[in-house]
Chain A
Amino acid sequence: MASVKYTDEHEWIRVDGDTATVGITDYAQNQLGDVVYVELPKPGQKVEKGKQAAVVESVKAASEVYAPITGEVIEVNQALVDEPATINSDPMGKGWFMKLRLANASELDGLMDEAGYKKFVEGLH
């Protein structure tokens, strides 16, 4: 059973063994508005927890997407490049950004679970 964790920068990470899928949350896509462009890392690239891993742009502005954990990019969702609006329509599913090989599973401990993230988002209003 894969578990989903969340960052306070509104990324989600679904961990399955030593690999993890990363995307942005429904709250994040809603805040961004219509996504028109995405810039993904390259497979093989190393990303570092809390550092920029991708760029997502809405009609209004560009935003950075941070790596929730340190690891190596093993796959990116190339379909997003042609259909960036998928991030709006299915942020937790088809709108995934990248898959990572975890460098240090203990980094996951500092992330929020679903209930914790829900509370965090409610606190933003």
Chain B
Amino acid sequence: MTSADSLKRTPLADLHRELGAKMVPFAGYEMPVQYPTGIIAEHQHTREHAGLFDVSHMGQIRLEADNFNAAAAALERLVPGDVAGLQPGRMRYTQLTNPAGGILDDLMVARRGEHLFLVVNAGQKEADATHLRDDLVGRARIETLFDRALLALQGPSAAAVLMRFDSRAAEMGFMTVADLSIQGVPCIVSRSGYTGEDGFEISAAATDAVKVARLLLDHPEVKPIGLGARDSLRLEAGLCLYGHDIDETTTPIEAGLAWSIGKRRRTEGGFPGAASILEQIAQGPTRKRVGIRPDGRAPARENTEITDLKGGLIGKVTSGGFGPTLGGPICMGYVLSSHAAPGIEVQLVVRGTPRSARVAELPFVPHRYKQN
């Protein structure tokens, strides 16, 4: 048990309380799970207008070497993504892999001039920093920026709101990063997110975080959104949650993340687990992450067994709940590749009772990212 006293607080903790948030422990932090309007209203507000999320618990890391090529070459020792191919101001999604091809963490990597700027998961950030330092000693310098705040502004109105502070926000393409100013506060802003909607992630100094959050919340389109809706939004968007949908026992290929491994890396390898990952690309994995829609109204939660129609075990749910935009239960999980095609009928064993369901296309709700 984590006692409330030992939990870390983000720079916005007092603001969350002022806004009436229900605070819960998450990844060692005291975080808002929802505000008074509740998860469904917050979810829908984000899909229709814009939501502001505090994701300051996530880890921001600066990786620097003698020049960009050296920094990229260093990081490519640990990830299968194409880092060397990043143009200035561009970012990519990749994973830190282990020698078996499992996933130690998933992360965003942005090229900021000659150095790299990484955003990693809260629960893994200390381990990631140690891993990077240990492996890249003498090759790159790792600076953790764990005190910095990170806010996500997500939804169809996000760009219009951010433009009012800095017109350059409008021109940013999906998966680009830029230095913007929010009423004099210098921010590192990327056009990215975890909801499937257009939006931004805004990194600012801890001391500026409350000012930035209040400035954004002053706009009627923007409401504060908790971790509860963050989870239902990303689940509808078919995005993986580390420690649930992906972990050290799942490979990027099984997880359906092969798109994040560029052609050059597939040819050259040179990342942890390359042998098994490249083998899986060539042969196809024995199991795959899929979306599943239960036929009835009963949600199927994480660890629910997935069977074929004869009752034979074919996999397990890794994330499951209710999709407010769809108005029904949705889940993701791993199934044998023979059962991974959309439309295949399966069963979910909920509280001992098999219930009919079918494999569904991911994402459940189409992405609406900025078209470049």
Q: Which residues of A contact B (CB under 8 A)?
A: 33-34, 36-37, 39, 55, 57-62, 81, 88
A-B contact count (CB 8 A): 42
Can you report 19 A-B residue pairs in the complex whose CB atoms are below 8 A from each other? A33-B34, A33-B38, A34-B38, A34-B40, A36-B40, A36-B299, A37-B298, A37-B322, A39-B351, A55-B351, A57-B298, A57-B299, A57-B322, A58-B39, A59-B43, A59-B324, A60-B231, A62-B299, A88-B38
Count residues of chain B with CB under 8 A from any CB of chain A: 18
A57 surroundings in chain B (CB, below 8 A): 298-299, 322
Output the least CB separation between A120 and chain B (Å). 20
* Contacts A34-B39, A37-B329; A60 near B228 (Cβ below 8 A): yes
A60 touches B298 (CB 8 A): no
Grouping DSSP codes into helix (H, G, I), strand (E, B) and loop, the B interface class, with mixed when no group exceeds half, is mixed
Pairs A-B, 10 closest by C-beta atoms: A36-B322, A34-B40, A59-B39, A34-B38, A59-B322, A37-B297, A34-B39, A57-B299, A33-B39, A60-B228
For B43, what are the chain A residues with a Cβ–Cβ distance below 8 Å? Answer: 59
Q: Decide yes or no: A39 and B298 within 8 Å by CB, A33-B34, A33-B228 being known contacts.
A: yes
- Which residues in B have some Cβ–Cβ distance to A below 8 Å? 33-34, 38-40, 43, 228, 231-232, 297-299, 301, 321-322, 324, 329, 351
* Shortest Cβ gap from A86 to chain B (Å): 14
CA distance A88 to B40 in the complex (A): 12
Whether the pair B33, A60 counts as a contact (CB closer than 8 A) is yes
- Distance in Å from the Cβ of B330 to the closest Cβ of chain A? 11
Contacts of A81 in B (CB 8 A): 297
Residues in chain A near residue B39, CB distance under 8 A: 33-34, 58-60
**B353–chain A nearest beta-carbon distance, Å:** 10
Q: Beyond A37-B299, A39-B298, is A59–B321 a contact (Cβ under 8 Å)?
A: yes
